[in-house]
Amino acid sequence: MTEASSGLADHLPPPRPPPLPLVFGLTNKIRDFEKQTRNIVAHEIVNINDSWITTRTGSTASQLFELMKQYFGLVCGQNLPLNIWDSYDDLNKAIARKLEIALTGSC
């Protein structure tokens, strides 16, 4: 077997690009969310929670997160690692642990 034809990928059709209307639709939804929240968050000290997000956007943070996952799956392909979305939760847990240590002096 030659180096040029040694992999299974050589026998698969090239990946199809995502349908542009779907990409544009998701992009517009994400952009609308940003328009409704970003300026306030960037220029004011505000307490942000699901209620705050829902009041301004009509969607929850979880719904936005699912929209982002759908968008990245579409534009990056379905080859994203399955645990890629766990990193946000892992980061929040690490921050919470650090804050707990800073506030109480213990783990």
pLDDT for residue 7: 61
pLDDT for residue 20: 86
3-state secondary structure of 24: helix
| CB burial string 17-33: b at 16+ within 10 A, e below | eeeeeeeeebeebeeeb
**What sign has the CA pseudo-torsion 47, 50, 52, 56?**
positive
| pLDDT lower than 50: segments of the chain | 1-3
Give the rounded percent of residues in the chain with a pLDDT score beyond 90.
Answer: 32
pLDDT 10s digits, 70-84: 888 887 776 677 777
Instruction: Check residue 13 and give left, alpha or beta (phi > 0: left; psi -120 to 50: alpha).
Output: beta
pLDDT for residue 60: 93
Domain edges within the chain: 17-104
